[in-house]
Structure 1
């Protein structure tokens, strides 16, 4: 380990992707309860794209190392950590710090990656898989025979969500641009072109009785349409937008507006429900329960991958040194799946 060198990507401020910095240093040693992961795959998600603009809620002050999640091999363990973890491939959700060759993580936060699953494949399903699984099964509690709408069905979370919903026996309608429709149809999803006009009207034709669940990452005025599309007993799950700030850097006003709407909708006697989803929402209040649920749910996601319920979507694999190119590609809106970074 002494011969190795730490390589990490630093986000120095609100900069263009080309202004991200590569920094080298000594490989850290794990402290009590920690493991040192040698990163095999990390990725560019919605969170890092917003952090680059200073728009992600609760991001650390600049400069810092981004990287929401990663997959790696346990290279060293700290005091109090069972030696059985050493040499195993694991996944971890870290929020920041993943864009590095070596990452320190609490041992309680790692989840074993099943044998036969590649690092890049597993990486596409860490934050995206946990988000999709928890929204589908813990928030909306979708059952076989129900009809759901997934906005951004070709995106990182959306592509996993539609596959898990189909595996649960649900009928799925998904919004995406026309170039992604054939891929959605191949997965049993009924596509709707969000660029071709009134999406709500198109969905009503497909589901005249209303929807059992709507998953909306867009927010804004369109969230009212998402609510109105629900059938009695249906659930609207809003995500993504609640974790970002507006163009002025303020998160308070848009979130307060959304909270007010959700409170009002839930107070109405119409047997419909609206909720936010954020993977970190209650970690500070119940850390042990949060960890246990995260481990259980990511284990379920990996099991679904092994069963063939999910096909990982790797948009591209690029080395960490080409992070600017990777971020540009992820932000281009031209790719399906996740852009993965490797050492």
Structure 2
């Protein structure tokens, strides 16, 4: 089978299309003929070995696939041996039948990014109706879904950040009340508060790290919650002093989706709800790019340069 393999750590240039043996499922695994593989920012961390779980060379990157299981079921699943390939193995506990009315690309948008957005709001920040929410990267894969979910679940005011005018326009279409540019970070705290009608925000979904983390933490209201779920800037977050949190009764929460993989109900519940929302049109995943397997380097370059919106997918047949 054709697959993308990483033989050395580095940037997009280390992604190579090679021929590999078709994988053989063990007990508790499914063999999936891949129609599309999902592309996530975490895949770029895998490639350079900055992902929280260290990688062992060589490996096939990627975490999510949609396609047909050997019994003919259309499934979206988390891969156990890498997703960027014509065939992939999946853990049966983390494979979900895709209902009619949900496209393959929409299903891919849900299994990692949609579930992440669901948990950021429901589990980690415990958003309540009427609360204000700041969504960083509001036009991205997680952000575009988090904006829609926050709106559906009754957020009082939603502020989104995006790096270009087109992305900010998309964020507004998806449901943010005000879209702002997060750069420069100088003055970002004040711009967030201004966008929230002069008030600090109740919830921040922070995926960037570095100076942006400090700026958004400074925009939190009393009893506000900041959920950190990524580090797109590739810079470490500054230390948080307990005294700073105590001064305004604020919270900083970390979220890492793989911690849910060993708790199947934490995947099943959000997937069931998200599937239903997509099937009846309440939630609309954004397809940001459908790349051929041979264009995987370009896909990673586009993602890292912040050119993309919504969900990116990889077609192993091309």
How is 1:222-261 mapped onto 2 (pairs within 5 angstroms)?
222-241=212-231, 254=236, 258=239, 261=240
Deviation at 1:331, TM superposition (A): 2.2
In the alignment, which of 194, 202, 205 is matched to residue 182 of structure 2?
Answer: 194
Deviation at 1:264, TM superposition (A): 5.1
How is 1:261-280 mapped onto 2 (pairs within 5 angstroms)?
261=240, 265=244, 268=246, 270-280=248-258
Whose Rg is larger? 1
Deviation string 1:149-200 (CA, Å, 9 cap, x unpaired) is 0111111111111111111111210011223222222223110122366221
- In 1, Cα distance between the equivalents of 2:100 and 2:41? 28
Deviation at 1:123, TM superposition (A): 1.1
Any gaps of 5 or more consecutive residues in structure 2? none
1:165 aligns with 2:150: yes
Any gaps of 5 or more consecutive residues in structure 1? 1-5, 76-85, 247-253
Q: Could you tell me which residue of structure 2 aligns to residue 98 of structure 1?
A: 83
CA contact (8 A) 1:67 1:95 kept: no
Deviation at 1:32, TM superposition (A): 1.6
Deviation at 1:101, TM superposition (A): 1.0
Q: Could you tell me which residue of structure 2 aligns to residue 291 of structure 1?
A: 264
- Alignment CA distance shift 1:33-1:263 (3 Å): farther
CA contact (8 A) 1:93 1:109 kept: yes
CA RMSD of aligned residues (A): 2.3
- In 1, Cα distance between the equivalents of 2:11 and 2:306? 17
Runs of 4+ off more than 6 Å: none
- In 1, Cα distance between the equivalents of 2:208 and 2:233? 11
1:48 aligns with 2:43: yes
> So what's the TM-score if we normalise by structure 2?
0.89
1:304 aligns with 2:255: no
After the TM superposition, which of the residue ranges 318-327 and 167-176 deviates more from structure 2?
A: 318-327
Q: Secondary structure at the match of 1:127?
A: helix
In the alignment, which of 179, 190, 204 is matched to residue 193 of structure 2?
Answer: 204
After the TM superposition, which of the residue ranges 203-212 and 98-107 deviates more from structure 2?
A: 203-212
Q: Could you tell me which residue of structure 2 aligns to residue 20 of structure 1?
A: 15
Q: Could you tell me which residue of structure 1 aligns to residue 259 of structure 2?
A: 281
Q: Secondary structure at the match of 2:34?
A: strand
- Alignment CA distance shift 1:318-1:12 (3 Å): same
Deviation at 1:96, TM superposition (A): 5.5
CA contact (8 A) 1:70 1:126 kept: no
Q: Could you tell me which residue of structure 2 aligns to residue 184 of structure 1?
A: 171
How is 1:101-112 mapped onto 2 (pairs within 5 angstroms)?
101-112=86-97
Deviation string 1:305-337 (CA, Å, 9 cap, x unpaired) is 123232121111122232122222222312211
Deviation at 1:128, TM superposition (A): 0.7
